[in-house]
Amino acid sequence: MPSYTVTVATGSQWFAGTDDYIYLSLVGSAGCSEKHLLDKPFYNDFERGAVDSYDVTVDEELGEIQLVKIEKRKYWLHDDWFLKYITLKTPCGDYIEFPCYRWIAGEGEIVLRDGRAKLACDDQIHILKQHRRKELETRQKQYRWMEWNPGFPLSIDAKCHKDLPRDIQFDSEKGVDFVLNYSRAMENLFINRFMHMFQSSWSDFADFEKIFVKISNTISERVMNHWQEDLMFGYQFLNGCNPVLIRRCTKLPEKLPVTTEMVECSLERQLALEQEVEQGNIFIVDFELLDGIDANRTDPCTLQFLAAPVCLLYKNLANKIVPIAIQLNQVPGDENPIFLPSDAKYDWLLAKIWVRSSDFHVHQTITHLLRTHLVSEVFGIALYRQLPAVHPIFKVQQATTSAGGGVMACWFLRTRGLARFTAEVVGIYYQSDQVVEEDQELQDFVKDVYVYGMRGKKASGFPKSIKTREKLSEYLTVVIFTASAQHAAVNFGQYDWCSWIPNAPPTMRAPPPTAKGVVTIEQIVDTLPDRGRSCWHLGAVWALSQFQDNELFLGMYPEEHFIEKPVKEAMARFRKNLDTIVSVIAERNKNKKLPYYYLSPDRIPNSVAI
């Protein structure tokens, strides 16, 4: 009778093993085997991290193996199991790989195909077509869209962590690490002793140093020493943790009635302000988005305030960006003056602090939360709803996102790394643009992202459909880049740039000034966060800036979703390209007082990991 050797690999994460009964069935082109209990006498099967082998004898020839069925039945209590993969050695000596990398929860069943990626048009056998369809039907019941808040991208229909499908929940150790990170921050930063002074103001700027841990040669210490300087203020719009708001000013806005006479002491080329605009030397950061928004009322004893500033910046003769005018709200008027570098020291400083506070709010809610976390969630939901596990695009997304200055590093990574890699993978599975256009599963995925995730808004920049290999490669690059590099660029620098509280105040306790010549240092300190909120903020940005234990970085893909040699070779070339980029960025950062390393691939986790 034909005999198969079945090898079963269990995950190494916490609680991945199981004591439940595991049954296996083989489905071949010539028949289906009976269920076989995988159990070795006097042996603890399916332990965490184990690789177990079993001999399975069948009554008759099964032909070409098409599917492997795994059933888990309760032994004592419900015991989830993480199955990495199964390999099968056939009676004729061939090896077939069946990647899984999924949880089997409770009393469940999972049906696996071999690891070759297939488009729907490649499947001609009825049982494989049926398996493909059933998998998507099941997933669409599990992964449902829900409106979290009006106007936001749709999210997954789950009210709490345990409502999420098991495969997309945090692993236990990662969840514990995430929960403990904040308490670790409070302990490591020695700030617990200040939390009881919740509404107490600091005495002066130097007083903030009591909760500021100085580590030699870090960016955060340099920020502390230079935060009041216009050069440091302007630098952060290009290389801080929110380098996405600055725009070239092509026309002075009517709502900012600034004149050459007001800023001429800042203009170094002896040109009128309008001429500087024409020559491309004027930049603008407009926080109009914050206009009319009410500040949170997290503490009834402490009022909080927001502003919606407009900040004009200038590229000077040294090619540095410096601020030249700040208006703290959108509508000009006598009680909304334009603050200038020529104003009294504390007038100008408080205006810059208000801009930094507004930048912090937009960074956290838009740049960070919306444009990385929430957008990545859209991709993830649509992926599970519309692409079966055998689809090459599902595999490449699972493999790559399992969940100078910044601009140059961003361009370098996308053009020399991700774009080349995605183009190679697309070329392997799509022989022509027509195959792309006729891949209905792919089109359904793209449509799900557009219609539900992006709410059908053209302004999102996402297409309703994709018709060429080039556009598909570009689309995948954006998806992967958003969930990995984009998130790394705006997340892991938070402690560097935001730990010195006056440089990134998370809240302001007094309204913006409505006149010049009245601001004092005491007024500034009373406007900045109190001791308790400062401690909370410092702990939060420290925790958010830490890599998780056993973090997987870009190019590290321990889960082998692909078995085909051409794709594995493409992955190897991708890793080699990433190593080159790491070396180039390291060389460029040598001897820099303010190195930029957030987009170095060895510091980019594979996914939105925190």
Three-state SS at 508:
strand
User: What is the pLDDT confidence band of residue 23, given thresholds at 50, 70 and 90?
Assistant: very high
Please report, in range form, the residues annotated as the binding site for Fe cation.
Answer: 368, 373, 487, 610
Determine the Cα–Cα distance for residues 132 and 153; give it in Å rounded to an integer.
28
Rounded (5°) CA angle 411-418-113: 165
Q: For 26-30, 298-302, 406-410, which range has the lowest pLDDT when averaged over its residues? A: 406-410
Residue 349 main-chain phi, psi, to 5 deg: -65, -45
For position 530, what pLDDT does the model report?
Answer: 85
User: What is the pLDDT confidence band of residue 411, given thresholds at 50, 70 and 90?
Assistant: very low
Q: Average pLDDT, stretch 466-475?
A: 96
Length of the chain: 610
pLDDT of 47 strictly over 80: yes
For position 1, what pLDDT does the model report?
Answer: 80
Three-state SS at 195:
coil
Q: Which of 448, 403, 402, 395 minimizes the C-alpha distance to 426?
A: 395
Q: Which residues are within 8 A (CB) of 65 and not within 5 positions of it... i.e. 6 or more apart?
A: 26, 27, 28, 88, 90, 96, 114
Residue 31 main-chain phi, psi, to 5 deg: 160, 175
User: What is the pLDDT confidence band of residue 182, given thresholds at 50, 70 and 90?
Assistant: low
Q: Average pLDDT, stretch 486-491?
A: 94
% of the chain exceeding 70 in pLDDT: 90
Q: What is the enclosing helix (H) or strand (E) of 472?
A: helix 469-481
CB atoms within 10 A of CB 209: 12
For position 192, what pLDDT does the model report?
Answer: 52
Any idea which fold 3-114 has? Lipoxygenase-1 (2.60.60)
How is residue 203 written in tokens? Answer: 């005495």
Q: Render pLDDT for 253-279 as a digit per residue (tens, 0 to 9).
A: 999 999 999 999 999 999 999 999 999
Do strands 321-327 and 310-315 pair parallel, antiparallel, or not at all (unpaired)? antiparallel
Axis crossing angle, helix 230-239 with helix 406-413, rounded to the nearest 10: 10
For position 203, what pLDDT does the model report?
Answer: 72
SS (HEC) of 490-505: HHCCHHHHHCCHHHCC
For position 14, what pLDDT does the model report?
Answer: 86
Q: pTM of the prediction?
A: 0.89
What is the DSSP code string of 524-579?
HHHHS--HHHHHHHHHHHHHHTSPPTTPPBTT---S-----HHHHHHHHHHHHHHH
For position 550, what pLDDT does the model report?
Answer: 78
For position 402, what pLDDT does the model report?
Answer: 46
Q: Which residues are within 8 A (CB) of 201 and not within 5 positions of it... i.e. 6 or more apart?
A: 525, 526, 528, 530, 531
pLDDT of 400 strictly over 80: no
Do the domains spanning 3-114 and 373-485+555-603 agree at the CATH topology level?
no
Please report, in range form, the residues annotated as the binding site.
Answer: 17, 39, 79-80, 368, 373, 487, 610
The letter for the amino acid at 24 is L
Q: Render pLDDT for 282-328 as a digit per residue (tens, 0 to 9).
A: 999 999 999 999 887 766 677 899 999 999 999 999 999 999 999 99
For position 185, what pLDDT does the model report?
Answer: 59
pLDDT of 407 strictly over 50: no
Expressed in percent and rounded to 5, the helix, strand and coil fractions of the chain are 45, 15, 40
- Computed on alpha carbons and rounded to an integer, the radius of gyration of the chain in Å comes to 28
Per DSSP, 336 falls in state B
For position 72, what pLDDT does the model report?
Answer: 94
For position 212, what pLDDT does the model report?
Answer: 67
pLDDT of 162 strictly over 90: no
Determine the Cα–Cα distance for residues 528 and 207; give it in Å rounded to an integer.
12
For position 408, what pLDDT does the model report?
Answer: 35
Please report, in range form, the residues annotated as the binding site for Ca(2+).
Answer: 17, 39, 79-80
Q: Which residues are within 8 A (CB) of 113 and not within 5 positions of it... i.e. 6 or more apart?
A: 66, 67, 98, 128, 131, 389, 390
Q: Render pLDDT for 536-578 as a digit per residue (tens, 0 to 9).
A: 888 888 888 888 877 889 888 888 889 999 999 999 999 999 9
Q: Render pLDDT for 522-532 as a digit per residue (tens, 0 to 9).
A: 999 999 998 87
Q: Render pLDDT for 76-132 as a digit per residue (tens, 0 to 9).
A: 877 899 999 999 999 999 999 999 999 998 888 999 999 999 999 999 999 999 999
pLDDT of 208 strictly over 80: no
For position 213, what pLDDT does the model report?
Answer: 66
pLDDT of 159 strictly over 60: yes
Determine the Cα–Cα distance for residues 602 and 575; give it in Å rounded to an integer.
10
For position 403, what pLDDT does the model report?
Answer: 38
pLDDT of 410 strictly over 50: no
Determine the Cα–Cα distance for residues 83 and 18; give it in Å rounded to an integer.
10
Using CA atoms, how far residue 259 sits from 267, 307, 324, 343, in Å, is: 12, 23, 11, 15
pLDDT of 414 strictly over 60: no
For position 186, what pLDDT does the model report?
Answer: 57
pLDDT of 457 strictly over 70: yes
Q: Answer with the residue of higher pLDDT: 329 or 535.
A: 329
Determine the Cα–Cα distance for residues 133 and 461; give it in Å rounded to an integer.
30
Domain 373-485+555-603 has CATH 1.10.1740.10: no
For position 610, what pLDDT does the model report?
Answer: 66
pLDDT of 498 strictly over 80: yes
- What residues pair up with 88 in beta bridges, in sequence order? 6, 96
User: What is the pLDDT confidence band of residue 412, given thresholds at 50, 70 and 90?
Assistant: very low
pLDDT of 9 strictly over 50: yes
**What is the overall mean pLDDT for the chain?**
89
For position 486, what pLDDT does the model report?
Answer: 93
Domain boundaries, the chain: 3-114, 373-485+555-603
Q: For 300-304, 334-338, 344-348, 476-480, which range has the lowest pLDDT when averaged over its residues? A: 300-304
Q: Answer with the residue of higher pLDDT: 457 or 198.
A: 457
Cα–chain center distance at 492: 10
pLDDT of 147 strictly over 50: yes
Residue 149 main-chain phi, psi, to 5 deg: -150, 145
The letter for the amino acid at 231 is L
Using CA atoms, how far residue 569 sits from 428, 474, 559, 564, 579, in Å, is: 11, 20, 15, 9, 15
Q: For 99-108, 182-191, 445-454, 466-475, which range has the lowest pLDDT when averaged over its residues? A: 182-191
